[in-house]
Amino acid sequence: MKSLYGKFLVITVGTMLASAIVAFLAVNTYYHRYLKGENDAKNVKVAEEIALFIEANDGIDLPAYFDMLAGVGYKLLVKSPNDNSAVYGEAFRDDNLEDQAIQKVFSGEVYHGMREQKAETFVTGYFSNESANTVGVPFMYKGQTYALFLRPDIKMLFTEIHYLLGGMVIVMAIISILTMLVVARKLIAPIIVLTRATKKVGEEQFTSELSIERRDEIGQLAKSFQQMVDRLSDNDQIRKAFVSDVSHDFQSPLLNIKGYADLLSDEELPANERIHYAGIIQSETERLSTLTKQLLLLTSLDQLVSPLQKRVFRVDQQVKETVRKFQWLLQEKEISVMLETEEVTCKGDPAFLEKVWENLLSNALKYSPDGETIDIRLTEKANEICFTIEDTGIGMSSETKNRIFDRFYRADHSRTREVEGTGLGLSIVEQVVRLHDGRIEVISELGLGTTFIVYLPTL
Ligand code: ADP
């Protein structure tokens, strides 16, 4: 059975049948254990009263009397002294009354066939329509001993009310099964919708909106699924935009290199122009190299398994070293750096954190006019290190500030465009800080300057 609906149907009908069988067995066992004896005693009492009545009315028309008793719901077997037997009421299905039992009754004993009936698993003793499943008493009629065996006629006992109850059970069963079928359809319908939606997502179609308005578990599943699809759709768009940005960012320097290389092939080109073109090719190559390195770094940061190899190290020494590396660039722009550090250690990946300081310092340098000052402070407070880098450069608008951590984002600012960059540096910074469970804040005012503050846990 492949479909959930089919399984549900089989389980429901199976449960109903199994419970009916279990109930039947339980009732049967209860009859054999507790009711059999009582039933036997009740019927013996009836038989004895009949015997007493016959003995008190010796001239009674026996067959007519027994027919009357059969008419009110008894089956009777009467054995006469000359070994004749007569059955009143509907015949027994099985005439298995033993001679020994008959002789006992003739000799004055009571026969307890109902009480002594063997317990059988799948036969309800009460309904067992056999002559052995009776009670027997002797009675005297016209000076002779007879044996009377009787049991209630089950068919006669089934009155209209029993048929009504039986009908009710059947109607209940039919209504339950039909309701189950409808409920199962309703329950399974959203799963079918979800399955279709999952297939679409598998084919990278993220457009469909699920129309499942439910508050139960399936509704929650649909809601989570929709959220997942929305996220996948966002990611898909980011990925596509990323690929197109990457291709664009690779394309323009490559076109420049090709164009200037073509110009260089002109043998009559004056020396100064050749030097100029060669310089452009060199800077475009450097740009491509930086872009490739940054993309590789970002890809390694995007891995599900963190690429960080953390160890405890002196951050202040690393920051000092970074400033030293930038010394000649700083001198070129006549920018001075005010460095204030205390001895600070932290548990992190030194190689990745170095990229953080480098990117922030190179930005401060890039976006500051010549002759300005950059302030760097490194402090430790309450198991947290705080790295602040403050410049008095071009600053940013609030729109730029909101987007600086997006990949490939570069402010559309004429002065920014003049500066070399890829728009990847701050994305790397943000991701490295996040992987170290830290956070980064930016305070910036257009035309006044920018401050970046990085907080990192020490352990
Ligand atoms: P880029 O390679 O363009 O510098 P980043 O990701 O490092 O890429 O920075 C993204 C953008 O954020 C920059 O293009 C610039 O507009 C802005 N920015 C970053 N740092 C500063 C800063 N110190 N001062 C002003 N603008 C900045």
Ligand 1: centre distance to CA 296 (Å)? 20
Helix/strand/coil for 440 = strand
Q: How many domains does the chain have?
A: 2
Q: Where is the domain boundary, 158, 188, 222? A: 158
Q: What is the pLDDT of residue 413?
A: 54
Q: What is the pLDDT of residue 122?
A: 60
Q: What is the pLDDT of residue 1?
A: 57
Ligand 1: centre distance to CA 423 (Å)? 7
400 C-beta closer than 6 A to ligand 1: yes
449 C-beta closer than 6 A to ligand 1: no
Amino acid code (one letter) for 27: V
Residue 162 is encoded by which pair of tokens?
A: 């029993």
Residue whose Cα lies nearest atom 19 of ligand 1: it is 363
Residues 6 or more apart whose Cβ sits within 8 Å of residue 410:
416, 417, 421, 423
Rounded to the nearest 5°, which phi and psi values hold at 187?
A: -70, -40
Q: What is the pLDDT of residue 121?
A: 61
Q: Sheet of 85-88: strands edge to edge?
A: 85-88, 74-79, 144-152, 135-141, 111-112
Ligand 1: centre distance to CA 416 (Å)? 8
Q: Ligand 1: which of 398, 404, 414, 446 to mutate, judged by most atoms within 8 Å of the beta carbon?
A: 404
Q: Which atom of ligand 1 is nearest to the CA of 424?
A: 6
Residue whose Cα lies nearest atom 4 of ligand 1: it is 421
Contact 323, 452 (CB under 8 A): no
Ligand 1: centre distance to CA 258 (Å)? 28
Largest CA distance in the chain: 157
Question: Per-residue pLDDT tens for 352-382?
Answer: 999 999 999 999 999 999 999 999 999 998 8
409 C-beta closer than 6 A to ligand 1: yes
Q: Within a domain: residue 45?
A: yes
Residue 276 CA: distances (Å) to CA of 255, 273, 407: 17, 5, 31
Residue 44 is encoded by which pair of tokens?
A: 């013996």
Q: Within a domain: residue 449?
A: yes
Cα–Cα dist 303/308, whole Å: 11
Q: Where is the domain boundary, 140, 158, 176? A: 158
Q: Which atom of ligand 1 is nearest to the CA of 416?
A: 16
Residue 267 is encoded by which pair of tokens?
A: 């043998």
Q: What is the pLDDT of residue 417?
A: 46
Range of the domain at 386: 307-457
Question: Per-residue pLDDT tens for 258-294?
Answer: 999 999 998 888 999 999 999 999 989 998 998 899 8
Residue 325 maps to which CATH number? 3.30.565.10
Helix/strand/coil for 241 = helix
450 C-beta closer than 6 A to ligand 1: yes
291 C-beta closer than 6 A to ligand 1: no
Give percent of the chain above pLDDT 70: 95
Q: Which atom of ligand 1 is nearest to the CA of 395?
A: 25
Cα–Cα dist 196/198, whole Å: 5
Residue 195 is encoded by which pair of tokens?
A: 């399955």
Residue 130 CA: distances (Å) to CA of 41, 75, 109, 163, 268: 18, 10, 20, 24, 128
pLDDT by 10s per residue, the chain, length 459: 567 788 888 888 899 899 989 988 888 888 888 888 898 999 999 999 999 999 999 889 999 999 999 988 899 999 998 888 899 998 888 888 999 999 999 999 999 998 888 776 665 556 778 889 899 999 999 889 999 999 988 776 676 777 888 899 999 989 988 998 898 888 888 888 888 889 988 888 887 677 777 888 888 888 898 888 888 888 888 788 778 878 888 888 899 999 999 999 988 889 999 999 999 999 899 989 988 998 888 888 877 677 889 999 999 999 999 999 999 999 999 999 999 999 999 999 999 999 999 999 999 999 999 999 999 999 998 889 999 999 999 999 999 999 999 888 888 754 444 567 888 999 999 999 999 999 999 999 999 999 999 999 987
Q: Within a domain: residue 178?
A: no
Q: Within a domain: residue 220?
A: no
Q: Within a domain: residue 218?
A: no
Q: Within a domain: residue 452?
A: yes
Q: Where is the domain boundary, 158, 182, 210? A: 158
Q: How many CA atoms lie within 13 A of 97 on its CB side?
A: 31
DSSP at 120: B
The model scores a pTM over 0.85: no
Ligand 1: centre distance to CA 410 (Å)? 6
Q: Within a domain: residue 352?
A: yes
